[in-house]
Amino acid sequence: MVFDVRCSLRQRLCRQVLLAWVAVLFAAPAWAETRVAAVLAYHRFGPTVVDGMTTRTAVFEAQLARLRRDGYVFVSLGNLVAGLEGKTALPAKAVAITVDDGHRTVYSELLPIIRRERLPVALFIYPSAISNAAYAMTWEQLAEIVATGSVEVHSHTYWHPNFTIERRRLAPEEYSRFVRNQLEKPRRVLNARLGVETPYLAWPFGIHDAELETAATAAGYRAAFALGERHASDTDPRLALPRYLIVDATGVAGLLRQLREGERRAAGGPP
pLDDT digits (tens, 9 = 90+) for 112-129: 999 999 999 999 999 999
Contacting residues for 13 by C-beta, under 8 A, at least 6 apart: none
User: For position 70, what pLDDT does the model report?
Assistant: 98
Does residue 214 lie within any of the structural domains? yes
Does residue 182 lie within any of the structural domains? yes
Q: What is the CATH number of the domain that holds 241?
A: 3.20.20.370
User: For position 266, what pLDDT does the model report?
Assistant: 84
User: For position 33, what pLDDT does the model report?
Assistant: 63
Does residue 171 lie within any of the structural domains? yes
Q: Which of 185, 111, 183, 182 is nearest to 142 (CA)?
A: 111
Instruction: Give the global pTM.
Output: 0.86
User: For position 34, what pLDDT does the model report?
Assistant: 72
Contacting residues for 193 by C-beta, under 8 A, at least 6 apart: 127, 130, 139, 142, 143
Does residue 51 lie within any of the structural domains? yes
* Count of structural domains, the chain: 1
Report the phi/psi class of residue 46: left, alpha or beta, with left for phi > 0 and alpha for psi in -120 to 50: left
Q: How many residues are present in the chain?
A: 271
Q: Which of 47, 38, 190 is nearest to 129 (CA)?
A: 190
Does residue 186 lie within any of the structural domains? yes
User: For position 27, what pLDDT does the model report?
Assistant: 41
User: For position 11, what pLDDT does the model report?
Assistant: 54
Under-50 pLDDT residues of the chain: 1-7, 9, 13-14, 17-32, 270-271
pLDDT digits (tens, 9 = 90+) for 154-193: 999 999 999 999 999 999 999 999 999 999 999 999 999 9
User: For position 26, what pLDDT does the model report?
Assistant: 40
Range of the domain at 100: 34-267
Count Cβ atoms within 10 A of the Cβ of residue 252 and give its class: 0-12 exposed, 13-18 middle, 19 or more buried.
middle
